[in-house]
Amino acid sequence: MSRTSHRTRIHEALRLRLLRGEVGPDARLVDHAIAAELGVSRMPVREALMQLVSEGYLESTSRGFALPNLSPDRIAEVFTLRRLLEPHAVTCVARDRTGDDLAGMRASLEVAERAGADVASFHRGSEAFRNAWLGAVRNGELRHAIQRYSGQVQSVRFATLPDPAARLTIIGGLQALLHAFEAQDGPRAADLMLRFIYDAETAYHRIEERS
């Protein structure tokens, strides 16, 4: 027997698939199908799916679980929440970060910098960078809240990556954020994060207009 429960492992596996954009907006996640695929019963799958629902990653429809309908209003709401939480969080990180924290961020940033046109690699790097600074948030509740609400707009984030210019902007922002952390400049980190969220929201609106 594994030391973690099936539910936990399935939850993590599905969450990663969702974060990587491997689940299209029309895809339907059905418990018994996933159960058959993984060789377990429906119950742990079902519980994992419902946990993902309560975390905002999925929506329970009458015909399987699917990506939530991210209405523009809802997107705007989540961005508002991020504006309330993340600037404060990076201020704390600028104050509390250790050398290890900084090393992790540098390594992740390098991955993104070297990605070039490799969107998947860039995505991995920027995600790792985000996880690195989030890991330096000592307030566990705050960290959890941020992960929760930024996970919901992951698909939005993903949609902006194909644009090379957007990737360059992101790289620049991450570098500046890292420098603020290194200099323990909390206010600057908060400013940068506010700007970052603003840019993300703007990028989303540009994409939305095209469709």
Partner DNA sequence: TTGCCATAAACAGTATACTTTTATGCGTCA
Partner DNA sequence: TGACGCATAAAAGTATACTGTTTATGGCAA
Nearest to 138 by CA among 105, 96, 107, 75: 96
Contact between 202 and DNA per CB under 7 A: no
Cα(150)–Cα(143) distance, integer angstroms: 11
Are residues 63 and 47 in contact, defined by beta-carbon separation less than 8 angstroms?
no
Contacts of 186 (CB under 8 A, 6+ apart): 90, 91, 92, 94, 95, 180
Contact between 69 and its own copies per CB under 8 A: no
Contact between 68 and DNA per CB under 7 A: no
Q: How far is the CB of 180 from its own copies (least distance, A)?
A: 20
Pick one of its own copies, DNA, none as the site partner of residue 42 (Cβ within 5 to 8 A by kind): DNA
Contact between 168 and DNA per CB under 7 A: no
Among 12, 24, 41, 205, binds DNA (CB under 7 A): 41
Pick one of DNA, its own copies, none as the site partner of residue 81 (Cβ within 5 to 8 A by kind): its own copies
Cα(159)–Cα(186) distance, integer angstroms: 30
User: DSSP label at 20?
Assistant: T
Pick one of its own copies, DNA, none as the site partner of residue 207 (Cβ within 5 to 8 A by kind): none
Q: Which of residues 4-23 bind DNA (CB under 7 A)?
A: 5-7
